[in-house]
Amino acid sequence: MAVTTSDMTASAQTMNNVEAVRATLYDALRSDDRVIILGEDVGARGNVFLITKDFIDEFGERRIIDTPIAEASIVGIAVGMAMEGLRPIAEIQFADFIYPAFNQIVGEAAKTRYRSNGEYTCPLVIRTPYGGGVRGALSHSVSVEALFYHVPGLKIVAPAFPADVKGLLNASIDDPDPVLFLEHKKTYRLIKGEVPAGHYTIPIGKANLLKEGTQLSVVSYGLYVHWALEAANALDAEGISVEVIDLRSIRPMDRGTILQSVEKTRKLLIVHEDNKFGGVGAEISAMVAEEALFHLDAPIRRLCAPDVPAMGYAETLEHEYMSSPAKIAAAMRELATF
């Protein structure tokens, strides 16, 4: 996992998502003294996924800060740092632990610019691994995006591919306002891809049309993007043409790309791992119903997790909770032939 800058700038490299996060953080620390990483076990332990391994040796305890198990403090301190000119990257070890920091994120960070009449901004990145499928059970599996996407003033990104991880993490660090950066933990080592060399950004709020199709639009993000793509490719063989959109950013949301696609295919399937009620799919559905009703040739369909308090630990329960390429393909097939 050793990453050096020279490796990074030479040429495009194949990485998994964990390596992409690590490489991007490393470059940010190297190129900008204001960048500081703080969180539980980010220093001596080098993060539970070894994302910040050995960073403390190179950048020191003042820039790689091990914090107590106190999420409200992690984010609260980072808000102060950001307001005073630093570029903190706060880590919440698992998204499941983010709740104590809710006030600091929603009540403080998101409102800083407004409250100070633009005098202060809060250029803060909060990174956190989320999502299931890793037998993480009750407290290592949640999706938290719907709890935060209601909040104006907060940006939320959830990239699925290593190249997007790098481009969007760079954009998040550069952004003058707070960004919640969601990393799907099952994709960490599962997903590999080419990552361009050098510093680049991908605009926050821009979706990616991964696969063009004519009969049905599928919108997803995170791990399920990969499964939706797999299902869509499989359906090509059946003569069913599916368009796949990777949302990449949850807020701001790329309404134009979604609407353009739905106006073409006239059918919309939204797939996400978070539960259905009030989820991101609800906002997409409402938006499409408001803007493109007379293009719809079928009811909008949402394939989401059941509304239960948590993902079960038992493998069968986890499977029941999670979707799969086969389940997504079945929903696509049904909607395409509606």
Question: Toward other proteins, which CB reaches closer, 11 or 337?
Answer: 337
Q: Are 266 and 294 in contact (CB under 8 A)?
A: no
Interface stretch with other proteins, choices 37-45, 87-95, 227-235, 292-300 (CB under 8 A): 292-300
- The amino acid present at 170, given as its one-letter code, is N
Interface stretch with other proteins, choices 20-28, 122-130, 296-304, 321-329 (CB under 8 A): 296-304
> Residue 256 corresponds to which tokens in the numbers above?
């134009």
Residue closest to 240 by CA, chosen among 150, 334, 172: 334
Residues 99-138 contacting other proteins, CB under 8 A: none
Question: Toward other proteins, which CB reaches closer, 143 or 215?
Answer: 215
Question: Toward other proteins, which CB reaches closer, 122 or 292?
Answer: 292
- Would you state the torsion angle of the CA atoms of residues 326, 327, 329, 335, taken in this order, to the nearest 10 degrees? 160
Q: Are 87 and 36 in contact (CB under 8 A)?
A: yes
Name every residue whose Cβ is closer than 8 Å to that of residue 253 and which is 6 or more positions away in sequence.
205, 207, 247, 283, 284, 287
Question: Toward other proteins, which CB reaches closer, 8 or 268?
Answer: 268
Compute how many other C-beta atoms are within 10 angstroms of the C-beta atom of residue 285: 18
Interface stretch with other proteins, choices 158-166, 174-182, 293-301, 319-327 (CB under 8 A): 293-301
Residue closest to 245 by CA, chosen among 222, 273, 278, 276: 222
Surface-to-core class of residue 250, CB atoms within 10 Å of its CB (0-12 exposed, 13-18 middle, 19+ buried): buried
Q: Does 293 bind other proteins (CB under 8 A)?
A: yes
Please, what is the minimum distance in Å from the beta carbon of residue 293 to other proteins?
5
Element (DSSP H or E) covering residue 213: none
- The amino acid present at 192, given as its one-letter code, is K
140 given a catalytic annotation: yes
**Catalytic pick among 140, 184, 226, 272:** 140
Give CA–CA dist 290/296, Å, rounded.
Answer: 11
Q: Does 298 bind other proteins (CB under 8 A)?
A: yes
Question: Toward other proteins, which CB reaches closer, 266 or 327?
Answer: 266
Residues 74-103 contacting other proteins, CB under 8 A: none
Interface characters, 259-288, with other proteins (x: CB under 8 A): -------x----------------------
User: Which of 62, 119, 237, 294: binder of other proteins (CB under 8 A)?
Assistant: 294
User: Which of 72, 296, 310, 317: binder of other proteins (CB under 8 A)?
Assistant: 296
Beta strands 301-305 and 268-275: pairing type?
parallel
# residues contacting other proteins (CB under 8 A) = 9
Question: Toward other proteins, which CB reaches closer, 105 or 268?
Answer: 268
- Write out the residues near other proteins by the rule CB under 8 A: 266, 293-298, 337-338
